[in-house]
């Protein structure tokens, strides 16, 4: 091929777009849990501990991440106030959530927070598929 201005521009445009195609992120699916993974905390609800690390956020000593897996019709009752500040999201399925004075349907990707000592939370999976609530606990002790 003879190199002229048109061929040089086409080659340059092609070489610039190639790294962009390679660098595109690929989505990662949430882990699917079986009915016996983790520890049962309520009928149809299991806790899977994912990890704990020291915190670099002032006021918190540790950060822990866990998944709460709700089978269809599984429910966690309105319990004691939260032991830690926490951030929650749904990674799979859908949950009916009561957190303090809020009542809402949490769908995949929704996020909310609960305050230590001030928020009570309950959740129910009214769907026909497993629902997973990912919880990040900000621990002071």
Average pLDDT score over residue span 57-75: 95
Give the pLDDT score at 111. Answer: 95
DSSP-derived 3-state class of residue 48: strand
Confidence of residue 30 (pLDDT cuts 50, 70, 90): low
Please say if the pLDDT value at position 60 is more than 60.
yes
Residue with tokens 């092609």: 14
DSSP state of 61: S
pLDDT score, position 87: 95
pLDDT band, residue 15 (cuts 50/70/90): low
Q: What is the pLDDT of residues 40-49, one digit of tens each?
A: 999 999 999 9
Structural domains in the chain, CATH included, are 39-139 (2.60.120.10)
Question: Given pLDDT bands bounded at 50, 70 and 90, which one contains residue 135?
Answer: very high
Neighbour count for residue 138 (Cβ, 10 Å): 18
Instruction: Give the residue with greater pLDDT, 81 vs 104.
Output: 104
What is the three-class DSSP state of 20? helix
């Amino acid at each position: 091929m003879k190199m002229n201005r048109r061929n040089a521009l086409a080659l340059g445009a092609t070489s610039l777009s190639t790294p962009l195609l390679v660098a595109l992120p690929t989505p990662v699916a949430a882990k699917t849990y079986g009915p016996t993974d983790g520890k049962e905390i309520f009928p149809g609800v299991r806790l899977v501990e994912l990890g704990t690390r020291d915190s670099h956020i002032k006021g918190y000593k540790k950060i822990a991440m866990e998944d709460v897996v709700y089978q269809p019709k599984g429910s966690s009752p309105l319990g004691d106030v939260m032991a830690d500040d926490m951030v929650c999201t749904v990674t799979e399925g859908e949950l009916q959530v009561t957190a303090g004075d809020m009542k809402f349907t949490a769908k995949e990707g929704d996020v909310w927070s609960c305050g230590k000592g001030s928020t009570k939370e309950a959740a129910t999976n009214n769907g026909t598929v497993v629902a997973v609530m990912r919880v990040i606990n900000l621990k002071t002790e």
